[in-house]
Structure formats: structure tokens, C-alpha cells
Amino acid sequence: MRAMLLDAPGRPLRAVELPMPVPGPGQVLVRVEACAVCRTDLHLVDGELPHPKLPVIPGHEIVGEVVRCGAGIERLRPGLRVGIPWLGHSCGRCWYCLHEAENLCDAPGFTGYTIDGGYAEHAVADAAYCFPIPEAYGAVEAAPLLCAGLIGYRTLMMAGQAERLGIYGFGAAAHIVAQLATFQGRRVHAFTRPGDVAAQAFARGLGAAWAGGSDEPLAEPLDAALIFAPVGSLVPTALQAVRKGGTVVCGGIHMSDIPSFPYHQLWGERVLRSVANLTRRDALEFLALAPQVPVRTETTVYPLDQANRALDDLRHGRLQGAAVLVPA
Ligand SMILES: [Zn+2]
Ligand SMILES: [Zn+2]
């Protein structure tokens, strides 16, 4: 099968021909129909994530058809369209796994990071971490739901009942969260890079009540803010934007350093927290909710062998919504 391989951080992905992977017990072989490109893939390629499997096939927003089941699988069968997300394995034994926090597992496996992912024609995955895709979605359209959607959903849930919601960084995750939040009756304030009027118009088109640069004054204090941009200086900015008792949630896996700020910006029982990974329950909840909204994804399709170009376009903010790789 063809795949795009990361040999070492800092290098472009390399197109390779690999033997067809064989599913072991409890695993499925999936013919990849689409795999979305996540900012986490950029952090992986840039060496900002510790201890990746190397070489590794990136990609953790996989949609494809089950073509073969390993021994002992009852829940899935060949022909079924499934999604494979970032959480590829959890140990089931550690304190976190036993307390409904498998996203924080001490011995996890992550798709496209410590397990080969979906920048390929086929992928093998643990069947217990695969999810049927709602029938309303095509493969390309569904791919960004698998991380931008899932982690975005978990991030939004951490904001509790917040009605006035700020979103910093209007990329793939934000464009899904904005639709979900609006559906839930929240008022979305979208903050983009100063002067990025295209992203601001995009945000308003997806239901944002207000959109502007992260340097612009607030129309009203926020109940909560979600940060999807990997920019640490947005943390004090967002803390200043939320009311007393408000929450700031960092949704990304990596961020530049957070500058120091005076304690009074946190004072008033403001809460600052991160969101890490996802649980299978998040996936089930979000994939059931998405068709009700209905969440629509904006995608730009690239052939699989153009993965480096897709990553480059993401890096330079030349994308609206999500990039999706499709094996030609
Ligand atoms: Zn991701
Ligand atoms: Zn565990």
C-alpha cells in the first residue's frame, strides 16, 4: 500500500510503498477513504511532541471501510464505514481508565503518533476504538469530525453552561464548535488573527454573533473562552475577557509559552484548564449529536501524495476549515 511516512521530525513526509498491514486479534483493517489533517500533525512533524513512534504514518482523523476483521470482533463487520480517532488504545487498568478518564491513560496509544495512522491507503486499528460514521455524512465531510469535532466537543463541554462563548483561533475545530454552540443557544464570539477578515466572515457565516481580531475590544464579557490557536499569549488575553468565575479552556496539544501575567487576571475564581485527548464516550456523544445540528464541515481535498502541501497550507493559514487527504 502507498503511505506518507515521517522518518524524523523536521523532515518532509516521504511517499513509500509498504506491505499491506494485517489485523491482529481485536483489530480491523480499514481501507482509508479520507483522512483529515490536524494541527497536531504539524506539531508531530515539527518535533514538538515527545517520543513518537519513528518512522510513523501520521493521521488521526480517518474515515474508511472495514475490509477485514481480526479474531474476536463482533461489533464491526466488513463493509461498515468507520472513523478512527486520536485515541487508539487505553490500558483499561490504570487509575484514569478505572475512573472514566481514559483520555488521561498512563499507557495510551495514539493514532498517527504512537500507532501508524491514516496518511495511507489502509490502516489497522483496535476495533474497540473505531466508531460507525453517521450515514448522513460522506467520507471527506466526516473526516474532520474525528478530531476537530471530537476534541472541539470535549473542549466545549469543559466550558459548562457558558452562554457568551469566546473562541480564539478559527480553524478546523472552531468551525465545528461554532455550529454546535450556536445550536445549543450560545452566543459565539470568534477571535481571529488581527486583520483576518476572511476568517471573520467565515465565522459569522457559521453562526458567530460577533467576529473580530483578538486585539479588538470586547462587545460584552464572556462566560467562557476556548483557545484553539497554539499561541500562549492568548491565555492572559482570554482571562481578561472572561467574567468573574469564568473559564478559559485550552484545546490544543501544544502551545507556545504562556507569558507571565498579574494574579488579579486569574483572581475572581476564574478557571484556566487544558483539554487532553478524548474518551470513547466523547466520540459516541458527539457523533450522535453532529447530524442533529447538523454540523457541516468545510474541507479542502488533497491527494494523499500531496500531504506535505496540505501541512504547509495549514501552517501558513491558507485554509478555511479542514484539509483532507484522499488516496487517489
Ligand atoms: Zn487532532
Ligand atoms: Zn489506562
What is residue 278's predicted lDDT score, i.e. its pLDDT?
96
Whole-number average pLDDT of the chain:
96
**Would you place residue 52 in the very low, low, confident or very high pLDDT band (cuts 50, 70, 90)?**
very high
CA–centroid distance, 152 to ligand 1, in Å, is: 10
CA–centroid distance, 297 to ligand 2, in Å, is: 32
CA–centroid distance, 324 to ligand 1, in Å, is: 12
CA 198 → CA 148, 202, 319, 326, distances in Å? 20, 6, 10, 26
What is residue 217's predicted lDDT score, i.e. its pLDDT?
87
- Which ligand has the nearest atom to the CA of 97? 2
- Which ligand has the nearest atom to the CA of 36? 1
Q: What pLDDT, in 10s, does the model give residues 181-210?
A: 999 999 999 999 999 999 999 999 999 999
CA–centroid distance, 192 to ligand 1, in Å, is: 20
Question: What is the percent of the chain where pLDDT is above 90?
Answer: 96
- Which ligand has the nearest atom to the CA of 95? 2
Q: What pLDDT, in 10s, does the model give residues 55-99?
A: 999 999 999 999 999 999 999 999 999 999 999 999 999 999 999
CA 80 → CA 25, 61, 65, 86, 242, distances in Å? 18, 17, 6, 20, 44
CA–centroid distance, 310 to ligand 1, in Å, is: 15
CA–centroid distance, 91 to ligand 2, in Å, is: 4
313 contacts: CB under 8 Å, gap ≥ 6: 300, 319, 323
Does residue 156 carry a pLDDT above 90? yes
What is residue 240's predicted lDDT score, i.e. its pLDDT?
96
Does residue 219 carry a pLDDT above 90? no
Q: Report the C-alpha gap between 227 and 239 in whole angstroms.
A: 11
Does residue 264 carry a pLDDT above 90? yes
- Which ligand has the nearest atom to the CA of 58? 1
CA–centroid distance, 263 to ligand 1, in Å, is: 32
**Would you place residue 320 in the very low, low, confident or very high pLDDT band (cuts 50, 70, 90)?**
confident
Burial class (CB in 10 A: 0-12, 13-18, 19+), 55: middle
The residue type of 119 is Y
